[in-house]
Amino acid sequence: MQLFAVWRLSILVFLLWIWSCATPPRAVNPYFEMLPEHLLIAERELFSLALQQQKNNKLKSSIGLWKRFLANNPRSFRGYNNLGMVYYTNDQLSLALSAFETGLDLEPFDHKIKENLKRTLRFQITLLRENKDYDAAIQLLERISKLSEEPERKKVALQIQTMVNNIFEQVKRSNSLEDYEVFLARYPNSPGHSDEARRRIERIKFQKSLMGEKSP
């Protein structure tokens, strides 16, 4: 009987392990819903109303309420995070980034704000890539890298290198001295590309000097 009980317990533990592996991770709530401590009753009501309007997708009203709340509570990282999420939902990405960065300055180790900031940066990067604005996209990827730990940093580094490759292809197509010099100033140590840019700069300068000698 004892052996049977142990065997049944082992099977149960195994099935629970399989279930936990198969269950998808729960989505993290991007808002702060818990009211900050030591707030006046009026401020608590304002926080709750702003969050309610936000959840009801009344974005303009919610933005106004969060601004009022933050005017009275300028060090509320929760308020800045929630305001950032309203801006994000309303596709006001620059304002969302500013709100999240302010919230993170106030609470540098908060995981929720950090993840919301990275999500917004990735959205902005997608738009920049579509417009082939790779330099601006790389700057935002570098910010994500600073916010991240391994192995995510390695993935970001690969994305950055891919965009640098795209930039260098654009530079080679233009094949101008100015574009090569701008590339070198921005990416002086890019593997493979920086040395090639230097060689092409020397070649262009040499060709220009020959042309100058031939001129009367």
Tens of pLDDT, residue by residue over 100-147, are 999 999 999 999 999 999 999 999 999 999 999 999 999 999 999 999
pLDDT of residue 18: 42
Distance (Å, rounded) from C-alpha 89 to C-alpha 13? 42
Centre a 10 Å sphere on the Cβ of residue 66 and count the other Cβ atoms it contains. 28
- Residue 108, classed as helix, strand or coil, is coil
Which of 23, 22, 47, 46 lies closest to 34, judged by CA? 47
Q: Model-level pTM greater than 0.85? A: no
Regions of the chain with pLDDT less than 70: 1-27, 213-216
Report residue 184 as tokens: 């070198």
pLDDT of residue 11: 47
pLDDT of residue 7: 44
To 5 degrees, how large is the angle CA 33–CA 96–CA 116? 55
Question: Is the backbone peptide bond immediately before 188 cis, with ω within 30 degrees of 0?
Answer: no
Q: Which CATH number fits domain 40-131: 1.10.3720.10, 3.40.50.720, 1.10.10.10, 1.25.40.10?
A: 1.25.40.10
Residue ranges of the chain assigned to CATH 1.25.40.10? 40-131
Distance (Å, rounded) from C-alpha 97 to C-alpha 2? 61
pLDDT of residue 36: 83
pLDDT of residue 216: 56
